[in-house]
Amino acid sequence: LASIPTTAWQAAMVNGTLWGVPQARPPAGSIMSTRGDLLSEKGIDKNQSPADGAELLALMEELTDRKEGVFAMGADPVSWLMSIILEMVDAPKGWLEEGGKFTNAIETENYKEAIVHTKEFWDAGVLHPNSFSDPGSNSTWWQGGVTQVYIQGFTNWLYFTQRQPQFDLGLIEIPLWDGGGAAPKHQSASAYGAYAAITQQDSTERVEEILRVLDYLAAPYGSEEYLRANYGVEGEHYNMEDGVPISTDRIVDDPRVLTYFGSQALADLTGPRDLVDLESEYLHRIMPTSKADPSIGLYSDTASSKGAAFNRKQIDVISEIIQGRRELSEFDDLVSEYQNGIGKKIKAELEEGFQQQG
């Protein structure tokens, strides 16, 4: 278990108390991938480094051909595009903590600015017109060539490169909206959302036995245990090709052969050397200035019981503003409702947990 990164343990903690064993993930956030095969047809390089928000929007316009039914992007704009723009305007990741006091990101001017800029993309027509009504088709549009830019988790960079090499994946570097360098990356969770907890046992010996199983699954990359837990038996479940374990048809046809008992497969990403070097260089550039959510590992009973309903209302209001069906001032009303309602309780509970955590 010592191989599990310190930050990953926060996912299994509540106000400083450990409740289970986490499954680590790279906290590298989201990336903007391009279909290099499609961009090359337009004479556009698959890797782009726009200087600011205006250049990013101009690139999206260049990739859009509404007459041909081709758009730069799809997906729900609030969940995906706006998450990138929040980075560009240097908004907090979820919450801002200063001296033990918590401020929700929606209370900042940066957040409101992100709504305005997301609307600019929608108004420019660079997003698939069904992005709000049919966000589930995002992957279908991307793989069918209807869209050419795909916002996805960092781990999928390797996934698509290995499984669909014909896409010739590229990367769009995310700048600060007004220029001046790269936008601070918002970290994703450093562990899977659910952790492995051990129920009350009859003996210490049984607890220790279960911990030994979890310890085996948490074996570090490069160890024999890691290879066995994540790839199976050589010759039966995988074959080594140039130092890389390649799954046999048995695993391709039924991946559950290995995953039914858990693994650490996404804690360390392996693949072709050139891609791994590219990803490593990217991480060394963006992670030092990245932002984590300071509320991770803290518990708010109010957020648990009432937060989902407010979040749904928040998404609805922002979606309507972006589509021009509501005024921006209605977001101010929403923030006031939050501050005078559940927000006050959530803040108090987070601040109490922060003090307990030490």
SS3 per-residue string spanning 146-186? CECEEEEECHHHHHHHHHCHHHCCEEECCECCCCCCECCCE
Mean pLDDT calculated for residue range 1-28: 89
* Percent over 90 (pLDDT), the chain: 72
Tokens of 184: 């601070």
Residues 6+ apart with CB under 8 A from 260: none
The predicted-structure confidence for 216-247, as pLDDT tens digits, reads as follows: 988 888 899 888 888 889 999 899 988 888 88
Q: How far apart are CA 90 and CA 87, in angstroms?
A: 5
Q: How far apart are CA 130 and CA 135, in angstroms?
A: 7
Mean pLDDT calculated for residue range 280-309: 95
Cα distances (angstroms) measured from residue 290 to each of 32, 179, 284, 295:
16, 17, 11, 15
Per-residue confidence band for 262, with pLDDT thresholds at 50, 70 and 90:
low
The predicted-structure confidence for 97-123, as pLDDT tens digits, reads as follows: 999 999 999 999 999 999 999 999 999
Q: What are phi and psi of 47, to 5 degrees?
A: -105, 125
Question: CA torsion sign, 94 to 99 to 100 to 104?
Answer: negative
pLDDT at 267: 60
